[in-house]
Structure 1
Amino acid sequence: MIDYRAYLQKKGYTETTIENYIKQVQLFIKWCNRNHTTAIDIDYKDCLKYIKYLQRKGTTKKTVNHRLGRVKVYLNYLVEENFKSENPIESTTIKGVKRIVNYNLLEADELEDLYYSYETENIKDQYHRLTAKRDRIIVGLMVYQGLSTTNLKALEVRHIEVYKGKIYVPGHKKMNARELELKPWQVIELLEYIKEIREEIKQRRKVESERLLIPNNARLSNTITNIIKKLKKTNHKVENINQIRASVITNWLGQYNLRKVQYLAGHRYISSTERYLQDDLENLHEIVNSFHPIA
């Protein structure tokens, strides 16, 4: 397990998570041994037997999916190390796990309107005009690239590839890194921001930082909270940055296949992306029940 531990460390998992993953894999390997197979030789049919074994133990569907996810990571490791030719359960999940009910999502045109409606010009105070332009860039990264607060905090100037029209979003323990396309108008505004606006904000704030987005105070999350308050005035449906991200991901699912959306969203597991799939009848039923429960 030494090599596998190093693999997980390289992927950015915390030590606590690594211990949990290794424990689950060891249990999986023991099951394989009892059933006259190995993790290297196991095929889809035997994997189904393992899933049934977990289900017979009274494990909930959600827990089975979690344990299956840890086995998937291990099998992916074996594939990457050329011990296996493929992962037989790469796209396997247990049906029946409750999905996110996204009942207050924003359409693509509503998201874009948040960006274009964000005021940056008719502001008397020069510094506030500068920060408004920074904030509009944040809104753009939220509504076009679906970035989370954690993503926005991690961005540095070097992550913007202006001349390629792309942005590199660093990964962290819960999310994969990815490279995303920028809209042409985002590129233009980012050029101005990096060369002029950001420098002036740094001088005003008297800070030296490689961070792309210099906040009004020590916490970018406070800046984002203020942005959301302004966005609510544009569209009363706006709730928070998580809702905006969920809207972006759901809209992507209407345009691209599941794997591409998984990459765009930075999800470690395909099951995370699947939770955003919209089943209109299922969602309608859940929404009605949540507001009008049957006694």
Structure 2
Amino acid sequence: MKKSFDTYLYEQAYAKSTINTYLIYHDKFIKWCESKDYDPYTIDYKTCLLYAKKLQRPVKGKRPSKKSTKIGIGALKIFFKYLIEENHRGDNPMENMNIRGAKRTLNHNLLEYEELEDLFYSFPTQNIELPNSPSVAIRDKVITGFMVYQGLSITSIKHLKIQHVNLERGNIYVPSTLKTNYRKLEIKSPQVLSLAQYIQNDREVLQNAIACHTEAFIPQNSDRFTVACQLFKKLRNINLNIKNAHQIRASIITHWLKLYNIREVQYMAGHRYISSTERFLQDDIENLQEMIDNLHPIN
């Protein structure tokens, strides 16, 4: 039995708000196809470019934001993927339509890689005076390392268990979450010393202090990862431009894209869809208009 597009989205574990947004763009696309007598099952790349151009046209004198155009194209990429999986068509005409100017990363004030590494190297763990705890300092440096070297989100760090960090093999297994795939990432040499000290000593100290003896790599006696708030206050003492974990993750993914191919970065970042990785590429959305004008002139 064929499934509907909304059922497909639910099965892909998208958030309810995301599903609603995708369905709105889907309905607009279907209505446009009907008005032009195009069949979504057979529509080609060139015709999809016309729709992409339509998404950029002013409405009531106001030009749509770059972000909304990006979301509209992304929603249709997923719609065509759904059609392929349901055997309605054999290709995705929008697969290589990379409108990248609306990247969320640009709103994060990206950091240079040297700035990221400095967060780790400059993190204070010596001469910690009461009421501060040396074990807390080591823990926070370890968390900083996970963000800087593995690009982990706070959610991924929260779900790490002690068995996921293997110093002997030099890797970290990152479990999947609702939004990311599992992956195995290399432990970088600057991390080894602080990780070893934390695992051998400081983790147990913190477990005893809060009476929390679970397998969690970072002990917490609350569902909320409250350690992050105090950590970022310390990071801002190192670099005033630090905002949050999203900024750090966006910065390291953007750095990775300069070193590795996009599929490798997709794996390292845990992105379920290549489109999630593409938004970090440093290209301008205005290139789409030039592409339409140069390759497919419209009279």
**TM-score range, shorter-chain basis?**
0.7 to 0.9
Q: Would you say 1:166 and 2:172 are equivalent positions?
A: yes
Higher relative contact order, chain-length normalized (CA < 8 Å, sep 6+)? 2
Counterpart in 1 of 2:93?
A: 88
Q: Does the 8 Å CA contact 2:181/2:271 hold for their aligned counterparts?
A: no
Alignment of 1:20-99 (within 5 A): 20-55=21-56, 58=59, 60=64, 61-94=66-99, 97=102
What count of residue pairs does the alignment treat as equivalent? 278
Distance 2:280 2:79 in 1: 25
Task: Give the C-alpha shift of residue 46 in structure 1.
Answer: 2.1
Task: Give the C-alpha shift of residue 71 in structure 1.
Answer: 1.1
Deviations 1:5-56 (A, max 9, x none): 3432232212343244234324433443454443332221221233244445
Distance 1:137 1:104 in 2: 23
Counterpart in 2 of 1:181?
A: 186
Q: Would you say 1:257 and 2:261 are equivalent positions?
A: yes
Over 3 Å counting, the alpha-carbon distance change for 1:116 and 1:72 in structure 2 is same
Q: Does the 8 Å CA contact 1:159/1:168 hold for their aligned counterparts?
A: yes
Q: Indicate the RMSD between aligned Cα atoms, in angstroms.
A: 3.9
Identity %: 42
Q: Does the 8 Å CA contact 2:160/2:218 hold for their aligned counterparts?
A: yes
Counterpart in 2 of 1:283?
A: none
Q: Would you say 1:228 and 2:229 are equivalent positions?
A: no
Distance 1:210 1:79 in 2: 41
Distance 2:219 2:153 in 1: 16
Counterpart in 1 of 2:151?
A: 146
Task: Give the C-alpha shift of residue 143 in structure 1.
Answer: 0.9
| 3-state SS of paired residue (2:90) | coil
User: Given the two structures, how large is their TM-score scaled by the length of structure 1?
Assistant: 0.72
Counterpart in 1 of 2:8?
A: 7
Distance 1:139 1:72 in 2: 35
Q: Does the 8 Å CA contact 2:181/2:272 hold for their aligned counterparts?
A: no
Q: Does the 8 Å CA contact 2:212/2:221 hold for their aligned counterparts?
A: no
Task: Give the C-alpha shift of residue 189 in structure 1.
Answer: 4.8
Q: Does the 8 Å CA contact 1:69/1:269 hold for their aligned counterparts?
A: no
Task: Give the C-alpha shift of residue 205 in structure 1.
Answer: 0.5
Task: Give the C-alpha shift of residue 246 in structure 1.
Answer: 3.4
Distance 2:100 2:222 in 1: 45
Counterpart in 2 of 1:288?
A: none
Distance 2:262 2:159 in 1: 26
5+ long unaligned stretches in structure 2: 284-299
Over 3 Å counting, the alpha-carbon distance change for 1:189 and 1:224 in structure 2 is same
Q: Does the 8 Å CA contact 1:157/1:212 hold for their aligned counterparts?
A: yes
| 3-state SS of paired residue (1:167) | strand
Deviations 1:125-162 (A, max 9, x none): 79922222211110101111222333333434455465
Amino acid at match of 2:93: P
Over 3 Å counting, the alpha-carbon distance change for 1:97 and 1:129 in structure 2 is closer
Task: Give the C-alpha shift of residue 72 in structure 1.
Answer: 0.9
Q: Does the 8 Å CA contact 2:100/2:280 hold for their aligned counterparts?
A: no
Amino acid at match of 2:160: L
Counterpart in 2 of 1:284?
A: none
Counterpart in 2 of 1:286?
A: none
5+ long unaligned stretches in structure 1: 280-295
User: Given the two structures, how large is their TM-score scaled by the length of structure 2?
Assistant: 0.72
